[in-house]
């Protein structure tokens, strides 16, 4: 396939190129330069008036929660989403699997239509939960990274005594990991250090929620005398999620011992927990990626996530942030955290991308493409979405 006369945000720095040609072959970007001619019988698309940007990488979701949108809206965080006694866990256990699957399918479709080409899901429900999501994804083009979880949580007393992972669960853990891409652990406050160290021995991707709320930070110190983030690092996680109330020491440790942090600012705000301090995260050297989190709380919309983060952070700190940095969190940095050839438009990378209408009513005239995408673009600005070199939504 040859794409002609396209504007593009190119490479890891999302450099704006006003007009070029792009050859796609074997699902990847093969050549990116002006004046490429089509080979015989090659499909050619004239994309005058369109801007190609990398497909969004949504690095943290719980799409199983699609059935519970805005339930218990005014409850505390624990009453809403605690993995043991929260409303969320009760809803997931008591909802018919076919009904749950239908709502999850809707969320997957919604993500594709909004330009999300890869998502990372923390999937509850053990092996059955993983298999339910995998079955849903059979007929969807979206890329997924499914991080499974055992339905095993420890009490405060067991954590204080550092009770190890039960041998009776080892086989179940092994079987779970055969079916998914890694582990998505609820948090240090439901697991002893010994359990987290057992999980750290697994060879696939490991991630964990950490320092999401003031209450969770306080609970860890009260139980163990240690910071929640420092305890989370016993997992040897590839990345941490949230870190909304992490200390500077926590962030420095995360920068040294993980690939980075996934933040979910709209979810944190909707839970009345504030928003992550991306300035301190950047100072510590952390790579930051974006996720939309729990669908009980949020729509899976990276446009809204970027817009909210950009403006709220500047409003709080009264300091301007380059919108390109926010856009990188939604694209480039996700690929970096996952160590996959996604989130970037350059030779050799997988051809996952979004075609934006430059002349859309909300975007024209587009004086600053990065700012336009971050705080003006929306689902209605999308002409088409491509995954692996194939248009999967819209039409060019």
Render pLDDT for 132-175 as a digit per residue (tens, 0 to 9): 999 999 999 999 999 999 999 999 999 999 999 999 999 999 99
Name the band, by pLDDT with cuts 50, 70 and 90, for residue 95. Answer: confident
Distance CA 84, CA 87 (A): 9
User: In the predicted model, what is the mean pLDDT of residues 356-375?
Assistant: 97
In this predicted structure, what is the pLDDT of residue 97?
85
Long-range CB contact pairs, 66-75, < 8 A, 24+: 66/100, 66/103, 66/104, 66/106, 66/107, 66/295, 67/91, 67/92, 67/95, 67/99, 67/100, 67/103, 68/295, 68/296, 69/295, 69/296, 70/296, 70/297, 71/296
Which tokens sit at 26? 């074997």
Distance CA 276, CA 245 (A): 7
Name the band, by pLDDT with cuts 50, 70 and 90, for residue 227. Answer: very high
Q: Tell me phi and psi for residue 104, to 5 degrees.
A: -65, -40
Q: Is the pLDDT of residue 94 over 90?
A: no
Residue-wise pLDDT tens digits, 295-321: 988 999 999 999 999 999 999 999 999
Strands 205-210 and 239-242: parallel
Sequence-separated (6 or more) residues with CB below 8 Å from residue 316:
275
Q: Is the pLDDT of residue 61 over 70?
A: yes
Q: How far is CA 13 from the centre of its chain?
A: 20
User: Closest Cα partner for 262 from 295, 286, 298?
Assistant: 286
In this predicted structure, what is the pLDDT of residue 77?
64
Q: Give the pTM.
A: 0.95
Q: Which of the given ranges, 94-98, 269-273, 285-289, has the highest pLDDT on average? A: 285-289
Please write down the HEC assignment for all residues of the chain. CEEEEEEEEECCCCEEEEEEEEEEECCEEEEEECCCCCCCCCCEEECCCEEEEECEEEEEEEHHHHHHCCCCCCCCHHHHHCCCCCHHHHHHHHCCHHHHHHHHHHHHHHHHHCCEEEEEEEECCHHHHHHHHHHHHCCCCCEEEEEECCCCCCCHHHHHCCCCCCHHHHHHHHHHHHHCCEEEECCHHHCCHHHHHHHHCCCCEEEEEECCCHHHHHHHHHHHCCCHHHHHHHHCCCEEEECCCCCHHHHHHHHHHCCEEEECHHHHHHCCCCCCCHHHHHHHCCCEEECCEECCCCCCCHHHHHHHHHHHHHHHHCCCCCHHHHHHHHCHHHHHHHCCCCCCCCCCCECCEEEEECCCCCCCCCCCHHHHHHHCCCHHHEEEEEECCEEEEECC
Distance CA 261, CA 250 (A): 11
Sequence-separated (6 or more) residues with CB below 8 Å from residue 174:
none
Average model confidence (pLDDT) across the chain: 94
Name the band, by pLDDT with cuts 50, 70 and 90, for residue 275. Answer: very high
Which tokens sit at 257? 């011992």
Q: Is the pLDDT of residue 41 over 90?
A: no
Task: Return the minimum-mean-pLDDT range out of 27-41, 197-211, 279-293.
Answer: 27-41
In this predicted structure, what is the pLDDT of residue 86?
60
Distance CA 276, CA 305 (A): 13
Distance CA 371, CA 369 (A): 6
Q: Is the pLDDT of residue 213 over 90?
A: yes
Q: State percent of the chain over pLDDT 90.
A: 88
Q: Could you give the angle at the alpha carbon of 369 between the alpha carbons of 7 and 283, nearest 5°?
A: 125
Q: Is the pLDDT of residue 93 over 80?
A: no
Q: Is the pLDDT of residue 241 over 90?
A: yes
Which tokens sit at 389? 């070199």
Query: Can you list the domains of the chain with their CATH numbers?
Result: 2-54+343-394 (2.30.40.10), 56-338 (3.20.20.140)
């Amino acid at each position: 396939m040859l794409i002609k006369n396209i504007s593009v945000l190119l490479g890891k720095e999302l450099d704006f190129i006003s007009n070029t040609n792009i050859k796609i072959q074997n699902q990847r970007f093969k050549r990116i330069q002006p004046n490429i001619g089509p080979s015989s019988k090659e499909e050619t698309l004239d994309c005058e008036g369109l801007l190609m940007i990398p497909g969004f990488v949504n690095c943290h979701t719980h799409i199983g929660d699609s059935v519970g949108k805005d339930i218990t809206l005014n409850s505390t965080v624990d009453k809403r989403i605690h993995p043991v006694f929260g409303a969320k866990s009760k809803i997931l256990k008591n909802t018919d699997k076919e009904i749950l699957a239908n709502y999850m399918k809707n969320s997957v479709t919604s993500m594709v239509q909004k330009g999300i080409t890869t998502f990372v899901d923390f999937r509850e429900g053990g092996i059955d939960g993983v298999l339910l999501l995998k079955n849903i994804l059979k007929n969807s083009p979206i890329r997924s990274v499914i991080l499974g979880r055992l339905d095993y949580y420890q009490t405060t007393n067991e954590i204080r005594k550092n009770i190890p992972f039960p041998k009776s669960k080892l086989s179940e853990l092994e079987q779970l990991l055969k079916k998914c891409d890694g582990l998505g652990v609820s948090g240090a406050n439901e697991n002893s250090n010994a359990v987290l160290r057992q999980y750290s021995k697994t060879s696939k991707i490991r991630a964990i929620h950490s320092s999401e709320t003031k209450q969770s930070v306080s609970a860890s110190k009260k139980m163990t005398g240690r910071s929640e983030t420092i305890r989370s690092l016993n997992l040897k996680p590839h990345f941490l999620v949230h870190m909304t109330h992490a200390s500077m020491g926590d962030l420095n440790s995360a920068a040294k011992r993980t690939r980075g942090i996934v933040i979910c600012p709209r979810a944190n705000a909707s839970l009345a927990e504030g928003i992550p301090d991306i300035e301190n995260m950047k100072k510590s050297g952390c790579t930051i990626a974006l996720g939309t989190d729990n669908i009980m709380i949020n729509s899976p919309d990276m446009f809204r996530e970027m817009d909210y983060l950009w403006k709220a952070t500047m409003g709080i700190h009264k300091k301007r942030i380059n919108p390109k940095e926010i856009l990188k969190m939604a694209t480039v940095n996700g690929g970096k955290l996952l160590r996959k050839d996604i989130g970037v438009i350059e030779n050799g990378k997988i051809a996952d991308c979004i075609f934006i209408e430059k002349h859309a009513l909300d975007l024209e005239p587009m004086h600053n493409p990065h700012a336009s995408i971050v705080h003006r673009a929306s689902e209605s600005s999308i002409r088409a979405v491509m995954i692996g070199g194939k248009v999967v939504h819209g039409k060019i």
